[in-house]
Each structure stands twice: as structure tokens, then as C-alpha cells.
Amino acid sequence: MNNFWSGYIIVLSLANIAAVTGMLMWTRKMDLSDLAEDGTTGHEYDGIKEYNNPLPRWWLICFWGSIVFALGYLALYPGLGKFPGLLGWTSHGELAAAEADYDKQFGPLYKSFAATPIPELAKNERAMKVAGRIFANNCALCHGSDARGAAGFPNLTDDDWLYGGEPEKLVETITYGRHGQMPTWLPTMGEQGVKEVVAYALSLSGRQVDEDLAKAGQARFMTCAGCHGPNGKGNQAIGAPNLTDTTWLHGGTLKKVTETVSYGRKSRMPNFDKTLGPERVHLMAAYVYSLSHK
Ligand code: HEC
Ligand code: HEC
């Protein structure tokens, strides 16, 4: 906030309070001597006359009270432009205090979780309950609340891994995130070429395909083998999926696979080293581990 707006807010707030205070004083001192004999002001409209009674006492007390409260509040808490208030309260400070409190309360718990090896921690019911909540807040958005994933987002409950399901691989995935990139092939292979290589790729998982197409595709698969392996079993070092199973990240219909091979795919798993920190990442790795080790 620059000085102009700070001053503007201060003047506006104080002038408002001064104005209502002035009005209250003014009504107190109002001259009632010229009232008519029946105590009305003499105004009459449609047979309705106007009295000039003093404001009810309780109402006045409330009004004065709210003025005192407003002045007290503005003195103690931030509210008058840049003036921070005598108490020095800030929402950041309150958050930091709440976090410190949380750390004091749960810090030892996370420390003990972090000191437990992942396969063992995965069997700790209490730890998994805490982890389930962290999952719901940070991971469910993409992997689903049941962790079964969706098109483009891997299922974490099966034992089929793009990058590996060993504890240290899970920690690596969650800490640093992952970027899976499948190149586009339509420009280099053309429509017929894609048709052939897709037929061969589908045959790897036992699908019924046109044999001539698949045969032609087998030769083309040389280009794919660098990443997906000579037998199409994938490569966890770069997250190239196994093409010989029936689990598909981007869908296994002819249409979807053709789309994947023609235009390529880019997937990003975000890194959680900063948002969760190493202790919670360890806990989440145990949670993911538990999902496929029931
Ligand atoms: C913004 C969406 C998004 C969020 C949020 C997200 N993920 Fe992921 N995650 C992905 C995608 C996409 C992949 C696949 C990456 C690839 O194909 O290269 C993935 C991959 C993974 C993998 C690797 C799976 C395998 O087969 O190797 C694990 C484990 C994982 N996520 C766990 C988590 C956990 C735990 C959280 C929460 C702390 C989380 N993810 C949050 C999108 C997300
Ligand atoms: C540079 C390495 C690389 C090459 C070469 C490559 N791929 Fe891929 N491919 C990947 C990666 C990585 C993914 C996963 C993309 C993701 O994480 O979204 C993938 C995904 C796929 C998928 C989707 C699998 C699923 O589960 O949905 C298919 C199908 C596929 N590739 C087929 C092929 C074919 C056919 C070729 C050869 C024409 C090929 N790939 C060449 C790296 C490669």
C-alpha cells in the first residue's frame, strides 16, 4: 500500500467515526423548546404525527460502545492504512504461530515416522491414516481419491510402475516429480507408418490385429525400442511404459493408442520437496507403497 492510499484510508475511517460521534452529540443537544403542546413536532402527514422522543437509552449505549470499540480496535490491530497496530498482530504471525504449535504437537510423530523404514511404516495404521489425509489434500486431485488414477494419471494401487515401486524410487518420484515424454511420430512415419507400428504395439499385449500391418510395424518398432525396450517391456529409468501388459496410462483402445503414437504425450508429476518436505514425502512414499502391498 502506498502512502496516498494509506492516508486516504486513515482519513476516511477517522472522519467517519468523528462524523457519527458528532451526530450523536448534536442530537443530545437538540433544542426541544419549540415542540407543540402535545409533544409532537407539528409535522403531520395523512393524519400521522411525528414525535420527537429521545433515542432509547440501550440503543445509545450500544452506539457509544461501538465507537469506543472501533477506536480501541484501530489502535490495537492493523486497520488504519499502514499503521500496524499497537499489538503488532499480523496474519502471517498468526499462521507462523499456528504452524509452530502444530510442529510442536506433531513434530515428534513425523520424526518417528521418518525414522521407520517404508515397508514397515506402510503397515502402521496410525501413520497411514495421517498419510491418507495428506493424500486427499495433495494427490487426489490427479490420482483420484481412491488413488486409482485416470487417463494420463497413473493408478497407484496396482503393482505396475512407470518409474518403479521400490521405496527409494517412490521417494525419488514424490520428491523431485517426473516428466514423461513420448515423442510424436506422425510427421516422420506418416499415417500408414503409424498404423503399422500401432498394430505391432497392440500385438505385444496379445491383441487381435491385422497380421500384415503388425509385421510391417515390427520393423518400425526399432525406433521405439530405444525407450520401450526391444521386447516392449518398458524402461523405468525414463518412465517408458511397458507395452506388453494390459495397463494403459493414456488408454488402450486403437483410437487412443493411435493418438498417443501420432501426436506424442507429455505428463508431469509435480515435485513435492518444497511443499511437503522430506519427512512427509517419506510418509507419502509409505502410503503409496501400502496401496499395492495390501
Ligand atoms: C498435477 C497432478 C498430480 C499431482 C497433484 C500428483 N501427481 Fe503423481 N503423477 C502425476 C502424473 C501425470 C504422473 C505420471 C508421470 C509420467 O507419466 O511421467 C504421476 C506419477 C506418480 C507416481 C509414479 C507412478 C509410477 O507408476 O511410477 C507416483 C508414485 C505418484 N505420482 C505419487 C503421487 C503422490 C504421492 C502425490 C501427492 C503427494 C502425487 N503423485 C500428486 C500427476 C500428479
Ligand atoms: C524417447 C523415448 C520414447 C520413444 C522413442 C518412444 N516412446 Fe512411447 N513413450 C515414451 C514415454 C516416456 C511414454 C510415457 C509418456 C507419459 O508419461 O505420458 C510413452 C508412452 C507410449 C505409449 C502409451 C502407453 C500407455 O500406457 O498409455 C505408447 C502406446 C507408446 N509410447 C508407443 C510407442 C511407439 C509405438 C513408439 C515407436 C514408434 C514409441 N512409443 C517410441 C517414450 C518413448
| Pocket residue to mutate for ligand 2, from 161, 204, 218, 227, most atoms within 8 A of Cβ | 227
How far apart are alpha carbons 276 and 188 in whole angstroms? 42
| Pocket residue to mutate for ligand 2, from 153, 181, 182, 254, most atoms within 8 A of Cβ | 182
Report residue 58 CA to chain centroid gap: 48
Q: Which three cell numbers stand for residue 36?
A: 407543540
Question: How many residues in the chain?
Answer: 294
pLDDT in tens, 220-237: 999 999 999 999 999 999
| pLDDT confidence of residue 39 | 76
Residue type, 62: C
pLDDT in tens, 139-181: 999 999 999 999 999 999 998 999 999 999 999 999 999 999 9
What pLDDT band is residue 38 in, cutting at 50, 70 and 90? confident
**Residue 38 vs residue 207, higher pLDDT:** 207
Ligand 2 atom at shortest distance from the alpha carbon of 224: 37
In short, whether 277's Cβ falls inside 6 Å of ligand 1 is: no
pLDDT in tens, 192-212: 999 999 999 999 999 999 999
How far apart are alpha carbons 81 and 10 in whole angstroms? 6
To which residue does cell 501400502 refer? Answer: 290
How far apart are alpha carbons 220 and 200 in whole angstroms? 9
pLDDT in tens, 245-284: 999 999 999 999 999 999 999 999 999 999 999 999 999 9
- Best CA proximity match to 142, nearest among 272, 233, 243, 264: 272
Residue whose Cα lies nearest atom 43 of ligand 2: it is 182
Residue whose Cα lies nearest atom 34 of ligand 2: it is 224
Q: Which three cell numbers stand for residue 115?
A: 525414522
What pLDDT band is residue 106 in, cutting at 50, 70 and 90? confident
How far apart are alpha carbons 230 and 152 in whole angstroms? 24
Ligand 2 geometric centre to CA of 241 (Å): 7
What pLDDT band is residue 188 in, cutting at 50, 70 and 90? very high
How far apart are alpha carbons 11 and 142 in whole angstroms? 49
Asked whether the beta carbons of 36 and 42 are under 8 A apart, the reply is yes
Buried b (16+ CB within 10 A) or exposed e, 8-25: ebbeeeeeeeeeeeeeee
| pLDDT confidence of residue 234 | 97
The chain-wide mean pLDDT, for the chain, equals 94
